[in-house]
Structure 1
Amino acid sequence: MKELKIESIFQVYNDLNELPSDISVLMNKAIIARTKAYAPYSKFKVGAAILLDNGKIVTGNNQENVSYPSGLCAERTAIYYAGAEYPDSKILKMAITAASSNQITKNPIPPCGACRQTIAEYEVKQDSPIEIYFMGEVGSIMKSNSLGNLLPLLFDKTAL
């Protein structure tokens, strides 16, 4: 037996003012998308914004349904829209923000497992990393240079 050590490295920005200007624009688009989320059951609104290599920004937000799990997360809403509308474009960067109606969300909220797997699919498909920035409602923002950093042992098409 041997051990395998896996490390993840993140950059942490103290607040929106510290972000590079292009990422600040992207995160602000995610914040606007978050305000439009349909989350009457969880009271947890999430917004996502994606920068494509053609310069387009695509947004998405979570859409809930009383019949769980019929809803869809913000990240997947945005990714699937980008894939449907711009199938030949690569995803360069993604910004994610989340807020709860029950409390102020101060900690960065990363993508859920299903969203990580979806992002992984597109990262593998396009053969290039996707920068991911995520935050709560306020406070610090974390940056991952790739989905592989968030989900280091990927399940992808090479296993099939």
Structure 2
Amino acid sequence: MINHEIKIAFEEYNTFEELNDQDKHLCLEAVKALKGSHSPYSNFSVGAALRLKSGRVLYGSNQENAAYPSGLCAERVALFNWGANYADDPIEALAVTAHTAKFQISKPITPCGGCLQVLAEYEKKQEQPIRTILYCQGGAAWVTNGIESFLPFLFFEDRLVTVPV
């Protein structure tokens, strides 16, 4: 038997003010993205903002549906927008935040497994990590450089990728 240990690395900032200016700006853009949330069932709004190498910012917000599996998370809305429209402009960073009137959010929220897997796919596609900032308004921010700290056993099988002949 072999014992393995996985360690994750992320930076924790106690307040928004501790972030660098670029990260602060992207967090504020994620807050703006909350306005597009359609969350009448959970009343839990999530906003995401992507900063591309060109400086362009793309937005995503969660989109719920009465048929729950038909909804989509904010992170995937933003990431799929990038994949469909801006894939030649690499993603440098992603900021995610949330809001609800039902209770106080006291720590950053993390993306779901599906969103983490999509993030991993796009990191692989662009061959570079994506700085990820999870921002709790009025609280802490967690920052990581690359998806592996959130999803150490990401699914990727190189043999599934077809190579043009």
TM-score w.r.t. structure 2 length? 0.93
| Separation in 1, partners of 2:102, 2:69 | 21
1:158 — aligned with what? 158
Q: List runs of 5+ in structure 1 lacking aligned partners.
A: none
The 4+ residue runs of structure 1 with deviation greater than 3 A are none
Q: Distance in 1 between matches of 2:159 and 2:100?
A: 37
- Counterpart in the other structure of 2:47: 47
Question: Is this contact kept in 2: 1:44–1:99, CA < 8 A?
Answer: yes
Q: Is the 8 A contact 1:109 1:136 kept in 2?
A: yes
The answer on whether the counterparts of 1:30 and 1:47 sit within 8 Å (CA) in structure 2 is yes
Cα distance, 1:36 vs. partner? 2.5
Does residue 2 in structure 1 map to residue 2 in structure 2? yes
Residue 27 (structure 1) aligns with: 27
C-alpha deviation, 1:142, in angstroms: 0.3
- The DSSP-based 3-state class of the residue aligned with 1:58 is strand
The letter of the residue matching 2:75 is E
**CA-to-partner distance for each residue in 1:65-88, whole Å, 9 max, x for gaps?**
000110110000001111112121
Q: Can you list the C-alpha shifts for 1:5-61, whole angstroms capped at 9, x where unaligned?
A: 010011011111111111111000000111331100011100000011121110110
Tell me the amino acid that sits aligned with residue 117 of structure 2. Answer: Q
The RMSD of aligned alpha carbons is 1.1
Task: Give structure 2 stretches of 5+ with no counterpart.
Answer: 161-165
What amino acid is the match of 1:117? Q
Aligned to 2:68: 68
TM-score normalised by structure 1 residue count: 0.95
Matches within 5 A, 1:5-154: 5-154=5-154
Give the 3-state SS of the residue equivalent to 1:82 in structure 2: helix
Cα distance in 1 between the residues matched to 2:77 and 2:102: 24
SS class of match (1:120): helix
Q: Distance in 2 between matches of 1:103 and 1:137?
A: 13
Distance 2:159 2:152 in 1: 15
**Percent identity of the aligned residues?**
41
Distance 2:104 2:35 in 1: 14
